[in-house]
Structure 1
Amino acid sequence: MIDPAYLTRPRAPYAVDPASTRGRLVPEPASPTRTEFQRDRDRILHSSAFRRLKHKTQVFVYHEGDHYRTRLTHTLEVSQIARSIARALGLDEDLAETLALAHDLGHTPFGHAGERALHACMHGEGGFDHNAQTLRIVTRLERRYAAFDGLNLTWETLEGLVKHNGPLTDGNGRPLGPDPLPVAITVYAEEQDLELWSHASAEAQAAALADDIAYDAHDIDDGLRAGLFGLDDLREVPFLADLLNDIHRLWPGLDASRAIHELTRRVITRFVEDAISEGSRRIVALEPRGAGDIRAAREAVISFSPGLQQADLDIKRFLFARMYRHPRVEHVMADAQQIVRDLHAHYLARPSDMPEEWRMEGANSSRAIADFIAGMTDRYAIQEHRRLFDATPDLR
């Protein structure tokens, strides 16, 4: 049985209470040993999509080296940061962790380059969006349970996955952005109302902010170790210059490897502490009496202060120019995109070359082909291309 002390541990009134979940699309008996969000977390950890994150890259392809981050290592780092923020603010740590662990399940092979290629392949058929693909995976594509497709996660987990970056529509159901809602989200919304017009829970907001923190810190780390830029180049960002000055003052002459680690840990610490401080300030100002007040708020409650928002923006601008658009990275990503385009075109013309389980999704179905390719690891996509084509880019 669940330890009663766990169920009665201090939890802020605005936190999501697992005992008051809105439930699952397919009703299931309660677990005698785990809360509903712990069950969600465990289902994600045991999913096929989660295991495949081990061989999906962030920026570099898998054989660039063992020290660069994969989707799996990034996900674990996001999970740790999300739990830290949630714990400090009295939120449900298990829900925050669950959302962090699931947030990248829908990513294609080869990072955002693969996503851009697949989105172009799906032009005119709803495009491709990795967040929507995550929803598709956990509600349909994972087929492990006898009673349902997907993982049958709680309403709170599903809404957090879909809305972690904020509301998607206005009160009348019109998309807030210039583009229509991704197909997977509109289709699922007909089956279960995720209240796309509202914010997600504070736990989902914490997981989203944790993703930003992990990206900033660890792309700096990976870029430095790959030699795409140097420590002194980072002084272009005032926030990072201050941290580097602090490190130099404390340890003059510190070797580069230790200096990189000291920098990245300070980036994480500063952003986490700021998120907790700013989150606390916004919560006090809002005076929420329940999780519903968080969802109905006019702005996110878990956020950076204006100063750290600027630092986050400055870091992302630096990384975009010096890392994501580095000629070496762009060359590899262009070849990776070609692999994705080739695979999609080939399967569309010859669906019999896909495994039987995917052929059953519908012959000549571009969406089924996109599902198949999106689920590939970098390594498998390269192997498939070598099997089907005479020449495959080396991705080096």
Structure 2
Amino acid sequence: MQWSRLLSRRRLGTQAQPQVSSLRTDFQRDFDRIVFSSAFRRMQDKTQVFPLSRVDYIRTRLTHSLEASSIGRSLGTLVGEQVIRRHGLERFEASDFGDICAAACLAHDIGNPPFGHSGEDAIRHWARTADYGRRRVEVLRGSEQEDFLAFEGNAQGFRILTRLQNPDNPGGLQLTCATLAAFSKYPRESFLGGGRYPGVSARKHGFVAEDRELFADVAEAVGLLRRDPLRAIWYRHPLAFLVEAADDISYRVIDIEDGFRLGYLKLDEVLELYTSALPAADDWERRLRHMGDAKGKVEFLRAKVINAAVGQVVACFMDNEQAMLDGRFDQSLLEQLPARHSLGRLIDVAKERIYNAPEVVGIQTAGFQVIGELLESFSQVLDDLAEHGAGANARSRMTVNLISDQFIGPGGVPSGNTYTRLLRLSDYVAGMTDSYAVSLYKKITGISLPGG
């Protein structure tokens, strides 16, 4: 792969030529388009770790994405400086690398359904075990079936950026191909015909069957290397490794801080976890002794750990840069760092003490019921209308009014294709906020009635 092509400014869905020079570069425009999208705003009411939290301080998907974007900008800019020197890229600035990573990080969770990762599990569970859902998904084949059995928020994010947001535009938000490729941590379709491919980028899928050609267009524009001539699977864009690292640093380090603020971890435990990830030759110990506020100590060390991790990631990236360009490196950068064991402890403690806290698990379990019921009920309604039209039963003709027209079909008529109907429905449910999903569930089940 070649950097001059990997940094393509071509926008998906338009033939307009990239602007040669501007006070706002094409990659900065990508960032702005994501910020002003309704899908991005909805993340303020989507779970990061703590569903439906009443504590304003606790991070949502929105604040997590902003923090990851800040880390991604730093990583990209620092890497960009060295890549430009190494390859003599005169047409690019280090800030271009930073802006691409910042935009991709900003959108990295935009496809997550309600209730965080448990929401993804809930959609998969519905497709595999629900009475009606399982029967409908069983008639599908290949990637069309696997898109639901292995529902993936990353693939849903690609749909939002390239199709669902601004649906009247070819290419959706019409982001640059460089940003879309850096966003795509898993450049493969969901079904690979039994083939097994090593490496972190092949663990999940990054686009659904309907979007295969859209991603192929992105891959061609930036020159990604194809891994199999018969299957839709490519090697990662090198900057996708930085996007992944920014996300990993953000949630590993910051979830510990949130756990402390909610009382799941004591101050001494947090200080020990953070300081173990810091280099000894630093002035943090002296500064820490002069701080009396517990909250301030945690915030100070959190910033120091992030800064130390950023430096190590940049060094690791540059050590493996040529291997990435050749398709020979396909591992998580954080797993290669000198501080990998101490950073690994952060996630281990979070899993044990935070992610499995009774309050968290209780609401996530309820999320299975909410998402499963919405999918089960609405799939029956759409099937009834697709098969019987005006002759559909009264319940279906009434309930369909709860679904936005965009997710039904042209003219409010469901598609005659089962895959398309299910895909539109999963688009609708996955796009909901936590609160809206709960509210709609109460309505269709009769739990909450006006004036009741």
What is the TM-score with the length of structure 2 in the denominator? 0.71
* 1:155 corresponds to which of 158, 177, 183: 177
Structure 2 residue runs without a partner (length 5+): 81-93, 129-136, 138-144, 228-233, 383-399
Instruction: Please show how residues 268-279 of structure 1 align to structure 2 within 5 Å.
Output: 268-279=306-317
Provide closer, same or farther for how the CA distance between residues 62 and 94 of structure 1 changes in structure 2, counting only shifts above 3 A. Answer: same
Q: Offset of 1:250 from its aligned partner?
A: 4.0
Q: Bigger radius of gyration, 1 or 2?
A: 2
* 2:362 corresponds to which of 331, 346, 358: 331
Which residue pairs with 2:403 in the alignment?
354
Provide closer, same or farther for how the CA distance between residues 94 and 251 of structure 1 changes in structure 2, counting only shifts above 3 A. Answer: closer
**Alpha-carbon separation, structure 1, partners of 2:299 and 2:348:** 21
Moved more, 268-277 or 67-76: 268-277
Which residue pairs with 2:252 in the alignment?
216
Q: Offset of 1:94 from its aligned partner?
A: 1.5
* Structure with the larger RCO, 1 or 2 (CA within 8 Å, 6+ apart): 1
**Alpha-carbon separation, structure 2, partners of 1:199 and 1:190:** 16
Letter in 2 for 1:106: G
Letter in 1 for 2:16: E
Please state if 1:27 is matched with 2:48: no
Q: Offset of 1:107 from its aligned partner?
A: 0.5
Provide closer, same or farther for how the CA distance between residues 166 and 249 of structure 1 changes in structure 2, counting only shifts above 3 A. Answer: farther
Please state if 1:119 is matched with 2:124: yes
Which residue pairs with 2:328 in the alignment?
298
Q: Offset of 1:165 from its aligned partner?
A: 5.6
Letter in 1 for 2:114: P
Moved more, 185-194 or 254-263: 185-194
Letter in 1 for 2:109: D
Provide closer, same or farther for how the CA distance between residues 180 and 104 of structure 1 changes in structure 2, counting only shifts above 3 A. Answer: closer
Q: Offset of 1:243 from its aligned partner?
A: 8.2
Please state if 1:369 is matched with 2:425: yes
Task: Show CA shifts across 1:338-372 (max 9, x none).
Answer: 21112111212334132333222736722222111
Work out whether residues 46 and 433 of structure 2, in 8 Å CA contact, stay in contact via their aligned partners in 1.
yes
**Alpha-carbon separation, structure 2, partners of 1:209 and 1:181:** 17
Which residue pairs with 1:60 in the alignment?
50
Moved more, 255-264 or 357-366: 357-366
Please state if 1:391 is matched with 2:412: no
Q: Offset of 1:261 from its aligned partner?
A: 1.0
Which residue pairs with 2:262 in the alignment?
226
Task: Show CA shifts across 1:314-340 (max 9, x none).
Answer: 221111111111222111211122211
**Alpha-carbon separation, structure 1, partners of 2:198 and 2:295:** 42
Please state if 1:88 is matched with 2:78: yes
Work out whether residues 158 and 207 of structure 2, in 8 Å CA contact, stay in contact via their aligned partners in 1.
yes
Which residue pairs with 1:6 in the alignment?
none
Task: Show CA shifts across 1:75-117 (max 9, x none).
Answer: 1111111111111122522211111111111001111111110
Task: Show CA shifts across 1:39-86 (max 9, x none).
Answer: 322222222211111111201123421001011111111111111111
Work out whether residues 43 and 60 of structure 2, in 8 Å CA contact, stay in contact via their aligned partners in 1.
yes
Task: Show CA shifts across 1:263-291 (max 9, x none).
Answer: 211221111121123223334xx4xxxxx
Provide closer, same or farther for how the CA distance between residues 181 and 294 of structure 1 changes in structure 2, counting only shifts above 3 A. Answer: closer
Which residue pairs with 2:34 in the alignment?
44
**Alpha-carbon separation, structure 1, partners of 2:292 and 2:194:** 55
